[in-house]
């Protein structure tokens, strides 16, 4: 299994969308990574090697930030109740 984010060939409209310029990760035109639409796929469905890889550290960081926000990982643990005592 792998978690993936779809890519769309349009301009970003919403938070959680990271613009990716043509030439990056095999993109033939400007596009956007839809970090708010994470999917889980079976690697058995993937044929051959990936078409491209996101090597730019700034873009990778932007994707990580967008994913953390989407998953609520940017909220301090005290703020989301993670440190409450477990039920007896």
Q: What is the pLDDT of residues 10-64, one digit of tens each?
A: 888 888 899 999 988 888 999 999 999 999 989 898 888 777 788 899 999 999 9
Q: Is-contact 69 49, C-beta < 8 A?
A: no
- CB-count exposure of residue 66 (10 Å: 0-12, 13-18, 19+): buried
Instruction: Encode pLDDT of 63-88 as tens digits.
Output: 999 999 998 888 776 666 666 666 66
Instruction: Kindly report the CATH number assigned to the domain that includes residue 14.
Output: 2.30.30.110
In a domain, 77, yes or no: no
**pLDDT given for residue 88 in this prediction:** 61
13 is a domain residue: yes
Q: Give dist(CA 39, CA 70) in Å, integer.
A: 13
What global pTM score does this model have? 0.78
For residues 53-64, one letter each, b for 16 or more C-beta atoms within 10 angstroms of the residue's C-beta and e for the rest, the string is ebeeeebeebbe
Q: Does 29 fall in a domain?
A: yes
Residue 75: inside a domain: no
DSSP-assigned letter for residue 14: S
């Amino acid at each position: 299994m792998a978690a993936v984010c779809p890519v769309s060939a349009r301009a970003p409209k919403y938070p959680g969308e990271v613009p990716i310029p043509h030439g990056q990760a095999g993109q033939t035109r400007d596009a956007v990574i839809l970090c708010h639409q994470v999917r889980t796929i079976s690697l058995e469905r993937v044929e051959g090697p990936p078409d491209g890889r996101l090597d730019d550290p700034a873009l990778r960081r932007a994707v990580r930030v967008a994913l953390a926000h989407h998953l609520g990982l940017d909220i301090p643990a005290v703020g989301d109740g993670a440190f409450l005592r477990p039920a007896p």
